[in-house]
Amino acid sequence: MILRQAAQALNRRLPTTARRSSPSFLAASSGGIDNNFVLTSVNLQSKRGVWVSGSPPSSSSNRRGFADAAVDNEIAHESHWSEFPMAPPDPIIGLTEAYLNDDFPDKVNVGVGAYRCDRGMPFVLPVVREAENELVAEELDHEYSGIAGCPNFVDVALKFAYGDDCVPLKENRVAGVQTLSGTGGLRVFGEVLHQFGHKHIYVPNPTWGNHIPIFTNAGLEVRKYRYYDNATSNLDFSGLIDDLQAIPEGSCVLLHACAHNPTGMDPTLEQWKQISDIAKERNLLPFFDCAYQGFASGDARKDAAALRMFVEDGHNIALVQSFSKNFGLYGQRVGALSVVADTPDEAKRVLSQLKVHIRPSYSNPPRHGARIVSKILSNEKKTDEFVEQCMGMAKRIDAMRIKLRNTLEELGSSRSWEHVTKQIGMFAYSGMSKDEVVALREKHHIYCTLDGRISMAGVTSKNVEYIAKAIHDVTEGK
């Protein structure tokens, strides 16, 4: 009786899952205790010691000790998560957390790639707000979208990138799906590449930091080709060409469609043509990441010129699009993934494979942001308003580039800052060293990534002179 009561008391103190699997639970539930049971499913620890296995004690004193241990003594059991190490903080998120914990009144965050107005505040495009209000008034349902997303959105997204006059689109040779912004599209296509025989992918050096873990986690080896010359703060075009010519035939090559992240330095159209020719000769698979169309230059058609050239040259490209930066829909996770095929039938088969990977990953994408983009791009007036507002964002950033460079030159900097105004898009690849970036943070409370990338969206007419003076201080040692 004492043993049964002790076992029952023990099991009342154990977590449910441990009780159900422990021998004492089975014995107590059946009305008795098996003299040969082994206590191995839980660690019974008392001041008197640890029972690991064997028959229950038979003497009255030992039985009393068993009951005391079961009822009164602490039970130690290891957590399922006890062996989990602390993961390193994300470099961007960690930067933001450090900024938020800084109580310096004039602190500046130029690390995050999100547009800010000239007051340093998040900005919602008026045309986006207008479209959103119209959607609310329509009282639409919140049913699931299909695996491939909202068909209307996919249609306008592809036309936005490829152009209304794109031959493969007209011939139904483009397979397209809605994705969880650009990040989701990159992951889906990485998995598809891996499943169908690709072992590696080539990315520019440097590239967006998340490209590498995305493709690595998709099962691909990430290799790099030369892209940027830090010594001259310019495109390393000769190195780029040499590396592309040495890439194994049939390899997939990631290309930034416009506003290369983090350098902001894009090839000219003539240089893009040379890249296209080499890709054709070596049967490379061009995979475009298009995150800034319309935002880079303010002209969506101009920003899509490279990928459209590749399609016109006969490449069966893959393309991932993000609508976070250009539409300001950061939190809506709106994106698209598309593949140009040889025939409509081939496009259908490719589409089926994209859907096969989406279904177990996130099943289907969210609808609200996609509906906003669809409402804007399917209406000529709203599209014109979007282009105008996008141009406004691009012009503000260009103005800050000019002001930052001019101020640095007026301060008498011994360095050339010409690259700041030659670059395009959200980021300025400053050329500052890691030590200079750390000094910028510690002395002046200005937060940018350790590679010296500055988000120009965080530079305003109010803080640009402060930023320039701080950069001058850490780079000149004055």
| Catalytic residue selected from 266, 325, 403, 417 | 325
Report residue 401 as tokens.
Answer: 């580039």
- CB of 357 within 8 A of CB of 191? yes
CA dihedral 391, 396, 401, 402 (to 10 degrees): 100
Contacts with 436 (C-beta within 8 Å, 6 or more apart), sequence order? 452, 474, 475
Q: Which two tokens stand for residue 138?
A: 């329509």
* Residue where the block lists tokens 């829909």: 329
- Active-site residue, 289 included: yes
Angle at 29 between CA 27 and CA 31, to 5 degrees: 75
Q: Of the listed 236, 243, 266, 289, which one is catalytic?
A: 289
Q: Which of 208, 266, 272, 403 is catalytic?
A: 208
Which residues does the annotation mark as catalytic?
Answer: 208, 289, 325
